[in-house]
Each structure stands twice: as C-alpha cells, then as structure tokens.
Amino acid sequence: MEDQWKIAEHNPAWKKLFLETALILRATLGNHAVRIDHIGSTSVSNLDAKPIIDIQISVTRINELNTYISAIEQHGFIFRGDNPDLTKRYFREVPGSRRTHIHVRQTGSFSEQVNLLFRDYLRHHPEDCLRYGQEKHRLYELYKNEREKYVEGKGPIVWDLIHRAHLWSQETGWQPGESDA
C-alpha cells in the first residue's frame, strides 16, 4: 500500500478508486444517497495530494443514521462517532485498508456546498490549483512529522481559495453539477 502521509503527484487512478467504492455505495444506499461525489484534492486533476480518497455522500436527513450507517459499514468502513465536526457524519476505512474518508452531509448544507464549490473552482482555475499544490508541498516539508501543524498551516490558503471560489460562483452562477455516482 502506498505511503498515505505524503504529498504525491496527481494520479489519474484516484478517479477509478473513487468510482469503485462510490458505485458499490450507490448500489447499497440507493435513494438514501441524494448525491455521491469525489471531493478533496484527489478529485482535482493535476493537483498533488495525500493519496486518500474523499467521498461525500449527501443525504436528506443527516441525523437519521439508521438509513445509511449499516449500508456504509458493510463495505468495510467504520463510523467515527467521536468526530467533532457536527456538520457531517464521518467514516474511515478499516485498519490496514486503503485510506478512504467518507463524509456524510446534509443535502443543501453549507458544508456540502462549500466542498463541491472548492473542488469545482480548483478544476476551473489551474493557476490557483498549482499555487495550492505548491503550498501543500512547502507545508509538508516544514511539518512532515507534525500532521496537525500541516493541516493548520493550510488554513490561510484554503480560506483565500474559498473566498475566490465564492466570487467566481457569483460571477458564473455556479451550481453543483450532476452527482459523480
């Protein structure tokens, strides 16, 4: 299994890895999943990233865990009830498996929309995509043994890109496209 705490050159296989898992989840969740999307850095072509697949599942009622928790867990994911981010329900792969993070979010919520907007903005703005990738490499070199500091260090550029994405969304009338799966 590849080293998952590093910044890797973009790998086109990440899309295939997303689809393999997403299509299984789609078949199991059916209409309980309004959307299933590839988010995070691995979803953006030409963006270097930690080789961790992030999947966002949008549901109508996030607090009705019984409509989706067992369907996700039966495919090798563990519900992380201790997740402090109350805007999502979070699942991780079983230990020893390929790193995959599943984020279940309420359809139409800010947290669902901002992740889709951030991804789409980077897909349409290669110069900012490159700038973000370079900053991730810089921070990794500074904090390769301090993951929390690496994540904290990304804050300023992420907020700058979210601001730019917001302005872009107003100029273009951005709306999320079709679900990825």
Q: Enumerate the domain spans of the chain.
A: 13-172
pLDDT tens for 150-161 read: 999 999 999 999
Band of residue 5 on the pLDDT scale cut at 50, 70, 90: confident
Instruction: Give the relative orientation of helices 110-124 and 126-143 as an angle to the nearest 10 degrees.
Output: 110
Q: How far apart are alpha carbons 127 and 43 in whole angstroms?
A: 16
- Convert the pLDDT of each residue in 86-123 to its tens digit: 999 999 999 989 999 999 999 999 999 999 999 999 99
Could you give the angle at the alpha carbon of 96 between the alpha carbons of 6 and 32, nearest 5°? 95
pLDDT digits (tens, 9 = 90+) for 6-47: 899 999 999 999 999 999 999 999 999 999 999 999 999 999
Task: Enter the DSSP assignment of 91.
Answer: E
pLDDT at 2: 46
Q: Report the side by side order of strands in the sheet with 88-93.
A: 35-39, 53-59, 100-106, 88-93, 77-79
- Once rounded to an integer, what is the mean pLDDT over residues 125-152? 95
For residues 83 and 62, the answer to whether their CB atoms sit within 8 Å is: no
Alpha-helix residue ranges (DSSP H) falling in the chain: 13-29, 69-73, 110-124, 126-143, 147-153, 155-172
**Residue 81 token pair:** 């009830």
Residue 129 near residue 44, CB atoms below 8 Å: yes
β-bridge pairing 53-59 and 100-106? parallel
Q: What is the pLDDT of residue 1?
A: 40
Q: Which CATH architecture has domain 13-172?
A: 2-Layer Sandwich (3.30)
- At 4 the pLDDT is 56
The pLDDT of residue 94: 93
Alpha carbon 104 to chain centroid, angstroms:
10
